[in-house]
Amino acid sequence: MLTEDEVFDAVVRRITTDGYLDGLADSRSAALRPASPAAVAEAEELAGRPLPSLLRRLYLEVGNGGFGPGYGLLGLRGGHRMGALDALVALERGVLILCDWGCGITSELDLATGQVWGCDPNPAPDGVSCAFPQHMTIVDWFAKWVAGTLCQPWLVQDPTTGEWRGATDIECAEMLQEAFGPNGPED
């Protein structure tokens, strides 16, 4: 298990040596600009609590979004956005939208518990919540991203119980292989 500082260093290394936006063909779109202390303070005030230290440090020292999983970590005020999606929209409920994966799928951070949740509205039938826990912290989330093992959140129906839940890593890998072949989306 990597420490928070090791994950921070690994994120910085990936940004400086690799593509840093998974969801874009040209994954080095523009120079990253850190968030202002005022933007971080505003987000923390809206949420009524501080951001997790790793996330706060990434915003202040690396970039106000624009790097990371999917179409990139969403920025705080004045930062990286994907269309109309705003990271701050749910902050009064204590939820920070982390990134957009496309097709309405997002990763979100519950600031009260420190847990990352997935939201996949696509297969959810009426009356079923499209949000589900991913059983990881923001440190785990970024550690998996730099290791290349972070899967987008997918809502699936359990074949045994019929319950709707988040897909496991194995199920994600199987769905990707089924959709794109053995080498993934590059195939």
User: How is residue 19 written in tokens?
Assistant: 């593509």
Query: In CATH, what number does 4-186 get?
Result: 3.40.1580
Domain ranges of the chain: 4-186
DSSP readout, 4-39? HHHHHHHHHHHHHHS--BTTSSS---S---PPPHHH
Q: What was the pLDDT predicted at 187?
A: 42
Q: 178 and 170 in contact (C-beta within 8 Å)?
A: no
Q: Give the distance from CA 163 to its chain's centroid.
A: 24
User: How is residue 84 written in tokens?
Assistant: 């109309």
Q: 159 and 168 in contact (C-beta within 8 Å)?
A: no
Nearest Cα to 91, choosing from 45, 133, 36?
Answer: 45
Q: What was the pLDDT predicted at 80?
A: 75
> Does the pTM of the predicted model rise above 0.95?
no
pLDDT in tens, the chain (187 residues): 899 999 999 999 998 887 676 655 454 556 789 999 999 999 999 999 999 999 999 999 999 999 999 999 999 988 777 655 566 677 778 899 999 999 999 999 999 999 999 999 998 789 999 999 999 999 999 999 999 999 999 999 999 999 999 999 999 989 888 888 877 665 4
